[in-house]
Amino acid sequence: MIEVNNVVKTFDGFRALDGLNLSVPNGAIYGLVGPNGAGKSTIIRHLTGVYRQDSGDVLVGGQPVYENVEIKSRIAYIPDEIFHFPSASIRDMMKFYRGVYPQFSEKIYHELGEVFDLDDTMPMRRLSKGMLKQAAFWLALSCRPDILILDEPVDGLDPVMRRQIWALLMDDVSQRGVTVLVSSHNLRELEDVCDHVGIMFNGKMMIQRSLSDLQDNIVKVQLVCDTPLPASLNVLHTSSSGRVQTLIIRGQQAEVTQLIASAKPLFFDTVPLSLEEIFIYELGGVDYAVKNVILS
Amino acid sequence: MPSKMSFFHSALSKKSFTRFSLLWIAYTVVWFFVVPVQMLTYHDEYFSMSYHILTSGIEFGSIINFIYAICVSMALYSYLFSTRSIYTIAALPIQRKTMYCTHYFSGILFCVLPMTFILASGFLINLALGHQVSLELLCLFAMSVLEFLFFFSFATFCAMLTGHIVMLPALYVILNFTVVVMESIIRTILSSFVFGMGANTVTLEAFSPLVYLLTHCQTETICTVTPTFDTAGVYEYQFHHWNYLLILAAVGILFAAIGFFLYKKRRMEAAGDVIAVKALRPVFKYCFTIGCSCVIGLLIAQILLNRSVELGIYPVQVTICLLLGGFIGYFGAEMLLQKTLRVWKGHWLGFGVFSLCLLCFIFSMEWDIFGYERYVPERENIQSVTLSCSNSEATIENENYISDIVMWHQALVTDKAHQEAMTKADTDVYSWILNINLVYHLENGKSVPREYRLVVNEEEWNNENSIIHQFDSFFNSPEFLLLINEDLFSCGPAQLEYVYISGVDAQENSFDQQLTQEEGYALLQQGIYPDMQAGTIGKEEFYYSEDDEENSCYATIQFSYRTGGQNRYRYKTFTPTIDSQNTLAYLESLGFIPAVSSDFEET
């Protein structure tokens, strides 16, 4: 289990993490989302032991990550920008990781070679961005990690390879109980794979729940109603097209339905909410909304 | 798998060796050509193979290790300077202490392994060709490893200070030479403001190892059999500066230890920063400011005032130049630290503090607040005085002469205003500059050095009460000249390496000949010595008048000699005058009659 308790990190006076709390259960696929500059990459660098927090705790399995070789050897990390030694091939990097990660499996490496259509003797500097990502997954999965931390993992991959990689990850999660923490701006894709989601803003965790809880706690309603709606409805966002109004309301679906029905609308219906919509409307409440700017 | 030793990671070390193989291969090849290949092809008739090996170790070795160390350091620690690499490398399951020690020890092996190969190759050639230089080869190995140990450790320390790949070599070079350069520049500036402060003396070379190794750690030549005209001498070559090398290596280890603690505390987010250690940022800023103030300020002053020395006669202008240099340095440092050009707001207080300190310092120097200029040691506290002037240098222990020097020095200090006015008004193309260096060796073991640069013109020269005239009467007295040439007159014939006479006779025929040791000795004892007693030869020329020109003969006599206690040969040159009767008589007995200027006037 990954636990981040009240972590603060400051860069030259700028508070990048401001008392952040985060909790990832074992075997979960946790989607970390947030606007640019929210602190997602910063907390990932704490979780991989690169940064040391100013205060708070960053724990994996109850132990601090920083300078903890035992814990770090169970974590594989794929950063947004893949690093490899200049002029090294995938095979060279494999030999290096084999010497560094005690659980590294050459058998898995060779098996994954069938999946990734890459020449492992070719210098990595010649690979495209998408091929580099594939190579990173190849090497990371060969390390047989218990925790996989991914920063914008499928950025640059073609749709087929995306599906392929997610399938491999799902397999690892289901067979070995691997915990995956993934930071991405591609919310539609996260929605398909994540079972837990955390939304960060300004170095803090705004919401952190399982995806089903999150989707159950916010309702999108379309209705036509001439009478005023009950004041107890927590409406996050309103828009209208002709007489049809679309409301985003915080609350359980049954409770919201009951309240709206009490206003006797001419017509109303609840519509499923996507993760992207939840993200937009939740952050709209903290002054992070799409601004309508008209360029002259 | 991680190594069982927690301070060393074999996979990481192996990777370093394979990744940067080009470096150590190039290093090996260069040394291979300098030592083993030279051993195969060497045939220098003046210097033996042992001299070549020892000299290579200290001269070539210090230069190549200085360069190689920074290259190795830049390669091994390159991952620290890019965010992309550091986010991957620091995430590996390797502790920082293991990472640091592995890279450090790998770096040391980058020198030790190639040098072991060179040593083994040298031994094999030694066995095959019978050079008998095994000890010298071992010395070479030790020299190179000790030099590299210091330079690499220092480069490692610099790598821990900075987060920028370009700053690493810059910092390494600057810090390696900073003591010598800054001492020289500060002395130049101070000598401008402080009467008697030497600009040319450099006392802290030991803190700039490359400079010290190249200037003070030479291979010693020991003459075991003195050469004669018929037989060649026998020489041994020895290296006696192991203490300095061992101290360097120990200091290097200290730097490496500091680097270790800096690395353990290093903020990995500092990749790309000029100074990675937060606490050292103000130190860098003010050191950079002082450095720029001295270097840039002095440069601007020299260009604007069109003078390379004596800038102190324009104290206001020099102060403004130093402030300008400081301004460039202070805000330049801010720009480097903050990685932006917009540093003008909110940083003027720091520059104000610097400016105030600089003004106070210059004021105290200009007005001699600390009494440096006025200080002349008490006669009874002086053990000896080393006096250097023109081409002569002597250490004087005679009480009467020391009293004369102290009295003259006191008169000079009192005459400071006049001397500075002369310097300021020095536009006479016929004036001479006389440099006088004095070092008082006190009874308590301390030394008091002073350097003076005096203007000599015709008016001063003819004034019997002038400082320069007083100095001439004392320095060029026969007794004093005999004293400062005492070591030459104490030489026997065997200690004269050569005596060479050259000149022109009245018929404009040039002559030059090397005398035998016996002839040279006879010339010294029968000609020059009695003439010097009579005050007709050996005087230093502080000002060249028409009378001097008329009296000089067109001949020079050069002695190269080495007395028992001296390791190196010394040289003395004499020009006889028409009054040097004994010297001219001896030259005539050898068949040389040098011309005088009147000979050519008649023709």
Looking at residue B1, its pLDDT comes to: 44
> Could you tell me where the DSSP H helices lie in chain A?
40-47, 69-72, 90-100, 106-115, 129-142, 159-176, 187-193, 211-216, 253-262, 275-284
What is the residue-averaged pLDDT of chain A?
Answer: 89
- Residues B200, B451: Cα–Cα separation, whole Å: 9
- Residues A175, B94: Cα–Cα separation, whole Å: 28
CA distance A49 to chain B (A): 6
Residue in chain A nearest B79 by alpha carbon: A85
Count of domains for chain B: 4
Amino acid identity of residue A93, one-letter, is: M
Q: Per the domain annotation, does B271 fall within a domain?
A: yes
- Residues B208, B180: Cα–Cα separation, whole Å: 6
- Residues B496, B5: Cα–Cα separation, whole Å: 64
* pLDDT over threshold 50, residue B2: no
Q: Which residues 24-43 of chain B have a CB within 8 Å of chain A?
A: none
Q: Which one of B1, B85, B91 has the shortest CB-CB distance to A48?
A: B91
Residues B475-518 have pLDDT tens digits of 888 888 888 888 888 888 888 888 889 988 878 888 888 888 88
DSSP class of B189: H
Domain boundary, last residue among B276, B300, B331:
B276
Q: Do B345 and B401 belong to one domain?
A: no
CA distance A226 to chain B (A): 58
Least confident of A167-181, B22-36, B192-206, B425-439: B425-439
* pLDDT over threshold 60, residue B602: no
As a whole number, mean pLDDT of residues B64-90 equals 95
Q: Which of B524, B533, B527 is nearest to B572 (CA)?
A: B524
Q: Do B452 and B487 belong to one domain?
A: no
Q: From residue B502, how far is each of A139, B174, B574, B576, B578 by CA, in Å?
A: 83, 48, 11, 12, 16
Looking at residue B366, its pLDDT comes to: 82
As a whole number, mean pLDDT of residues B422-430 equals 66
Range of the domain at B467: 379-475
Q: Which of B68, B56, B224, B214 is nearest to B137 (CA)?
A: B56
Burial of B267 (0-12, 13-18, 19+ CB in 10 A): middle
Local confidence band at B265 (pLDDT 50, 70, 90 cut-offs): very high
How many other C-beta atoms are found inside a 10 Å radius of the C-beta of residue B166? Answer: 11
C-alpha B601 chain-centroid distance? 46
Pairwise CB contact (< 8 Å): A99 & B14: yes
Looking at residue B601, its pLDDT comes to: 66
Domain boundary, last residue among B332, B366, B400:
B366
* pLDDT over threshold 70, residue B422: yes
> Most A CBs within 10 Å: which of B4, B78, B86, B87, as the mutation test of the A interface?
B87
DSSP class of A285: T
CA distance B11 to chain A (A): 5
Q: Do B300 and B269 belong to one domain?
A: no
Q: Which residues 46-85 of chain A have a CB within 8 Å of chain B?
A: 48-52, 67, 69-73, 75, 77, 79, 81, 83, 85
Phi, psi of B145 (to 5 degrees): -65, -40
> Could you tell me where the DSSP H helices lie in A143-272?
159-176, 187-193, 211-216, 253-262
Pairwise CB contact (< 8 Å): A85 & B89: no
As a whole number, mean pLDDT of residues B567-592 equals 86
Residues of chain A contacting residue B99, judged by C-beta atoms under 8 Å apart: none
Pairwise CB contact (< 8 Å): A99 & B1: yes
Residue in chain B nearest A72 by alpha carbon: B93
* Order of strands, sheet of B392-396, starting from the edge strand that comes earlier in the sequence: B392-396, B382-389, B432-442, B447-456
Looking at residue B309, its pLDDT comes to: 61
Which has more pLDDT, B529 or A271? B529
Phi, psi of B563 (to 5 degrees): -85, 175
DSSP class of A239: E
Q: Per the domain annotation, does B171 fall within a domain?
A: yes
Mean pLDDT by 10 residues, chain A (296 residues): 95 92 94 91 96 96 95 95 92 95 95 91 93 95 95 87 91 92 88 90 90 82 87 85 87 87 88 80 64 55
Q: Which residues 64-123 of chain B have a CB within 8 Å of chain A?
A: 84-96
Kind of pairing between the strands at A196-201 and A29-33 = parallel
CA distance B14 to chain A (A): 9
Residues of chain B contacting residue A85, judged by C-beta atoms under 8 Å apart: 15, 19
Q: Per the domain annotation, does B266 fall within a domain?
A: yes
**Apex B18 CA angle, B103 and B78, nearest 5:** 45
Percent of chain B scoring above 90 in pLDDT? 46
Kind of pairing between the strands at B392-396 and B234-238 = unpaired
How many Cβ pairs within 8 Å bridge chains A and B?
68
B505, B578 Cβ separation under 8 angstroms = no
CA distance A69 to chain B (A): 5
Which has more pLDDT, B194 or B209? B209
Looking at residue B553, its pLDDT comes to: 86
Residue in chain A nearest B273 by alpha carbon: A12
Pairwise CB contact (< 8 Å): A50 & B87: yes
Q: Per the domain annotation, does B1 fall within a domain?
A: no
Q: Do B185 and B140 belong to one domain?
A: yes
Pairwise CB contact (< 8 Å): B268 & A51: yes
Phi, psi of B110 (to 5 degrees): -60, -25
Which has more pLDDT, A209 or B47? A209
Looking at residue B547, its pLDDT comes to: 67
Q: Which of A47, A59, A49 is nearest to A3 (CA)?
A: A59
B268 touches chain A (CB under 8 A): yes
Q: Which one of A51, A96, A100 has the shortest CB-CB distance to B269?
A: A51
Q: Do B268 and B298 belong to one domain?
A: no
B346 touches chain A (CB under 8 A): no
Pairwise CB contact (< 8 Å): A100 & B2: yes
Pairwise CB contact (< 8 Å): A79 & B267: no
Pairwise CB contact (< 8 Å): B84 & A96: no
* pLDDT over threshold 80, residue B451: yes
- Per-residue b/e over B175-197, b at no fewer than 16 CB within 10 Å? bbeebbbbbbbebbbbbbbbbbb
Q: Per the domain annotation, does B3 fall within a domain?
A: no
- Residues A73, B306: Cα–Cα separation, whole Å: 66
> Which H, E and C letters describe B30-54, residue by residue?
HHHHHCHHHHHHCCCCCCCHHHHHH
Q: Per the domain annotation, does B372 fall within a domain?
A: no
Residue in chain B nearest A78 by alpha carbon: B88
Residues of chain B contacting residue A99, judged by C-beta atoms under 8 Å apart: 1, 10-12, 14-15
Q: Do B118 and B211 belong to one domain?
A: yes
Residues of chain A contacting residue B90, judged by C-beta atoms under 8 Å apart: 48-50
Q: Which of B69, B64, B77, B65 is nearest to B19 (CA)?
A: B77
Q: Do B490 and B463 belong to one domain?
A: no
Phi, psi of A151 (to 5 degrees): -115, 110
Pairwise CB contact (< 8 Å): A72 & B87: no
What is the residue-averaged pLDDT of chain B?
Answer: 87
C-alpha B429 chain-centroid distance? 31
- Residues A295, B599: Cα–Cα separation, whole Å: 100
Pairwise CB contact (< 8 Å): A48 & B19: no
Pairwise CB contact (< 8 Å): A67 & B85: no
Amino acid identity of residue A107, one-letter, is: K
Residues B95-149 have pLDDT tens digits of 999 999 999 999 999 999 999 999 999 999 989 888 788 999 999 999 999 999 9
Residues A67-121 have pLDDT tens digits of 999 999 999 999 988 999 988 999 999 999 999 999 999 999 999 999 888 999 9
Q: Which of A56, A78, A85 is nearest to A148 (CA)?
A: A78
Burial of B446 (0-12, 13-18, 19+ CB in 10 A): exposed
Domains in chain A and their CATH numbers? 2-212 (3.40.50.300), 217-284 (3.30.70)
Q: Which residues 95-124 of chain A have a CB within 8 Å of chain B?
A: 96, 98-102
Residues of chain B contacting residue A54, judged by C-beta atoms under 8 Å apart: none
How many other C-beta atoms are found inside a 10 Å radius of the C-beta of residue B410? Answer: 12
Pairwise CB contact (< 8 Å): B89 & A83: yes
* Per-state percent for chain B, helix, strand, coil, to nearest 5: 60, 15, 25
Pairwise CB contact (< 8 Å): A49 & B87: no
B568 touches chain A (CB under 8 A): no
Q: Which of A101, A137, A142, A143 is nearest to A118 (CA)?
A: A137
* pLDDT over threshold 90, residue B204: no
Q: Do B88 and B187 belong to one domain?
A: yes
Q: Do B415 and B527 belong to one domain?
A: no
B332, B287 Cβ separation under 8 angstroms = no
Q: Do B423 and B536 belong to one domain?
A: no
- Residues B273, B258: Cα–Cα separation, whole Å: 19
Q: Per the domain annotation, does B236 fall within a domain?
A: yes
CA distance B74 to chain A (A): 14
Local confidence band at B359 (pLDDT 50, 70, 90 cut-offs): very high
CA distance A73 to chain B (A): 5
**CA Rg, chain A, in Å?**
22
Q: Do B56 and B101 belong to one domain?
A: yes
Q: DSSP per residue over A104-134, as a string?
A: --HHHHHHHHHHS---TTSBGGGS-HHHHHH
Which has more pLDDT, B294 or A156? B294
Residues 6 or more apart in contact with residue B354 via CB below 8 angstroms: B286, B289, B290, B293, B326, B330
Pairwise CB contact (< 8 Å): B94 & A69: yes
Place of tokens 């990671």: B9
Q: Do B524 and B457 belong to one domain?
A: no
Q: Per the domain annotation, does B373 fall within a domain?
A: no
